[in-house]
Structure 1
Amino acid sequence: MAISQRLTLILAAALASIPLPSHAEDNMSQTIKDQQAHPYVGMWVTKDGRIRQELLPNGRYDEARGTRESAYQGRYVVTGTHIDYWDDTGFTADGTFVSPDVLHHGGMVFYRRK
């Protein structure tokens, strides 16, 4: 292993052992609370019901396609009416809530399932 790689590992280990200041933990907690409080948590479905996407309150999503449950899973962040997705496989996407009950995402239209 090269010296620079060893130094990187040592530095990463040292930084990992440093506790976060309480205000950083408070900021992370507030971000999680803000994410959980957005108005779009719940199930979103295409008109034909083939694609179903559940936005979970913990910032994760679970998307089913046809008979394939949990076809895609990952995390998401809502900023205003914009949503960004990061699939667990590395795929990224985004969308826009055009009303409280309509989501445009990936060239598709999703409707809130009540």
Structure 2
Amino acid sequence: MKENNTSYVGMWATADGYIRHELLPDGRYDEARGKRQSAYRGRYVITNNHIDYVDDTGFTADGDFRDGILYHAGMILYKES
């Protein structure tokens, strides 16, 4: 899984900060939920504006980047600067 667009690397969070996805430059991600750090970890690949996630248990999910926003599983995440 490699083809990751480095402009998407970094921390993405919901407006309330409850869900946080850190997209790491090595194609891994770390998701925090509330006070629970590293609630989910796994790998990701970005193709064009689409992201596919596979967590370390094998669960899969995906999302799309549109106009600087990540739409993922009914959530809206914004990139933190």
Q: Same fold (TM over 0.5)?
A: yes
Residues of 1 paired with 2:6 and 2:52: CA distance?
14
Q: Distance in 2 between matches of 1:83 and 1:69?
A: 21
Deviation at 1:73, TM superposition (A): 0.2
* 1:40-62, Cα deviation, whole Å (9 max, x unpaired): 00000000100000000000000
Q: Which string of whole-angstrom CA distances, capped at 9 and with x for unpartnered residues, describes residues 48-87 of structure 1? A: 1000000000000000000000000000000000000000
2: CA distance, partners of 1:113 / 1:45: 7
Alignment partner of 1:47: what SS?
coil
TM-score (norm 2): 0.94
Q: Which amino acid aligns with 1:113?
A: E
1:55 to 23, 27, 36: 23
CA distance in 2, matches of 1:64, 1:50: 8
5 Å-filtered alignment, 1:3-82, equals 32=2, 34-35=3-4, 37-82=5-50
* Aligned counterparts of 1:90 and 1:65: Cα–Cα separation in 2: 19
Q: Which amino acid aligns with 1:108?
A: M
Structure showing greater Rg: 1
Dislocated runs of 4+, deviation >3 Å: none
Shift of 1:39: 1.3
Name which of 61, 72, 92 aligns with 2:60: 92
Bigger fraction of residues in helix: 1
Unaligned runs of 5+ in 1: 1-30
User: Greater strand share, 1 or 2?
Assistant: 2
Q: Which of the pair has the greater relative contact order for Cα pairs under 8 Å at 6+ separation?
A: 2
